[in-house]
Amino acid sequence: MTGPDDVKAILSGLLHFGVNPGLERVGAVLAALEHPERGPFTIQVVGTNGKGSTACLLESILRKAGYRTGRYTSPHLSDVRERITLSGDLLPSAVFSDLVREVFALSSSLSVELTFFELLTVVAFLAFSRSGCNAVILEAGMGGRWDATTVCDPAVTLLTGVSLDHEEILGPGIERIFEEKVAVGRPGRPFVATLHDLALRRAFLERARTTGFLPVLSGRDFSSRWEGPESVETGSRLLHYRGRWGERGFSPALTATYQADNVAGAVAALEWSPLALSPGSIREGVQAATNPGRFETVSRSPITILDGAHNPEAMDRLLESLRDRFGSGATTGWVLAFHADKDWRKMLKAIASAAQRPGAFFFAHLRDEGQGPDPNALRGRSWASSKEMESFVGGIEKIEGVPVDRGAVPALLERALDWAREKDGRTLVVAGSLYLVGAVRPYFIPPAEGVLFSGNERDLPLTEGS
């Protein structure tokens, strides 16, 4: 089998391995490739929320400064190739396919069973090395200590924050999750952290003392604040930043309230890096950086916003951004899907309690447990039942009478848009999972070229059974 089809078969097969933390498998394959991960200036980004936006900001700034950049992020929305960019561009399908086949063949010859994420991590390192990248941004997939990206040797590490998520893998409680993420700090290297919880701030400084990394902490070494709300006319918003190089103002393209922390963390990481960057390149990079599916307005008639909020902290941040943009008078319809292992009840309660009264709920049917060619492969990775979510919101007294609809994505989305068009001032928000955002976004913004492979490591392809 040749061409993209065998690549789809390779990646589909690896999806069934799930998540298997560890560095030895990736390390063995990279050693056989003579360590393509070594050499370029590298920043590793870890954290519960905000990693993707921060990685995009870092890459945009470095590209504006003249570096040949490589960026590795996850998950993707529509096409697996979104995870690996060279100077902002996706790898051509043929190049990506050849690299996947090469790495898969090598790992098979070594009797090393890489997971989906591990194989793509090796592909990214290989692509960056062969393309002559001199600045690489790596977003950890999960945790940090045993994440495949941690085989790198970063000049700077960046922690975007810590909250409850992936407890089934990282361990129960915020302290365990923090320990997994802060373990990536390297002795003698800057470790930039955006932390607001006082206990975690103290723990971060204590870990710096025992590990030897250089702590760069938000609120102490750098800070940011929005100067005002987003301009309705221009969509612009001013951000005030204070850091190692003094005070400055930015006008980011990423204007959600929660992006203030991400901009500040990215700028601080570069201020504490060994690179010499001009203020102009930083300003231009911040202004140019975008990240699809993160408080992204994809339609203005009706206003439709896509956001990958998938845990309670991220949902709270999304609700704050909606309040800042629309005030408390907006009526919001919600198109939602949650993985069953997320605290979706807490998120639905937060939506019900928000200043923007929920005007309607639209619960999307995605792939349920037991569907697909290998039912056992999906056990424990199912989506929360739309029937159960409908029953749950029906029991919240303060939103009694709010209509609820559910169904497959294409038809459900059309009904949600019809609802939003019925009255002026209605807003539609799609959230709960980046995979749902990835299924919905092509209806508004079609991919620029054919999709090579749409699957993610937690699901079979979204295009099947959506």
Q: Which H, E and C letters describe 119-165, residue by residue?
A: HHHHHHHHHHHHCCCCEEEEECCCCCCCCHHHHCCCCEEEECCCCCC
How many other CB atoms sit within 10 Å of the CB of residue 301? 8
Residues 149 and 57 in one domain: yes
Q: Is residue 465 part of a domain?
A: no
Cα 253 from chain centre: 17
Statement: residue 166 has pLDDT above 90: no
Question: ∠ CA 323-325-330 to the nearest 5 degrees?
Answer: 60
Residues 193 and 318 in one domain: no
Q: How confident is the model at residue 144 (pLDDT cuts 50, 70, 90)?
A: confident
pLDDT of residue 330: 81
Residues 300 and 284 in one domain: no
Out of 263, 288, 313, pick the residue that ends a domain.
288
Task: Tell which residue, 164, 166, 118, 143, has the closest CA to residue 339.
Answer: 166
Q: In what order do the strands lie in the sheet with 296-300?
A: 296-300, 303-306, 426-431, 331-336, 358-365, 404-408
Residues 373 and 408 in one domain: yes
Q: Is residue 353 part of a domain?
A: yes
Q: In what order do the strands lie in the sheet with 41-46?
A: 89-90, 84-86, 69-72, 135-139, 41-46, 156-159, 190-193, 214-217
Phi and psi at 318, nearest 5°, equal -65, -45
CATH number for the domain that contains residue 89: 3.40.1190.10
Residues 30 and 114 in one domain: yes
Q: Is residue 458 part of a domain?
A: no
Kindly state the percentage of the chain with pLDDT values over 90.
Answer: 73
Residues 411 and 432 in one domain: yes
Contacts of 163 (CB under 8 A, 6+ apart): 48, 49, 174, 177, 311, 312, 313, 314
Mean pLDDT on 212-221: 97
Q: Is residue 454 part of a domain?
A: no
Statement: residue 363 has pLDDT above 90: yes
Kindly state the percentage of the chain with pLDDT values over 70.
Answer: 90
Q: Is residue 461 part of a domain?
A: no
Residues 356 and 240 in one domain: no
Residues 325 and 438 in one domain: yes
Mean pLDDT on 150-164: 91
DSSP-derived secondary structure letter, 407: E
Residues 126 and 161 in one domain: yes
Helix ranges restricted to H, 212-278? 259-271
Tell me the residue range of the domain where 356 lies: 296-443
Cis link prior to 302 (omega < 30° from 0)? yes
Q: How many domains does the chain have?
A: 2
Residues 304 and 276 in one domain: no
Statement: residue 459 has pLDDT above 60: no
CA distance 381 to 245: 46
Residues 302 and 283 in one domain: no
CATH number for the domain that contains residue 398: 3.90.190.20
Statement: residue 376 has pLDDT above 90: no
What pLDDT digit, counting tens, does each position of 18-71 carry? 667 789 999 999 999 999 999 999 999 999 889 999 999 999 999 999 999 999
CA distance 101 to 242: 47
Residues 241 and 166 in one domain: yes
CA distance 66 to 370: 49
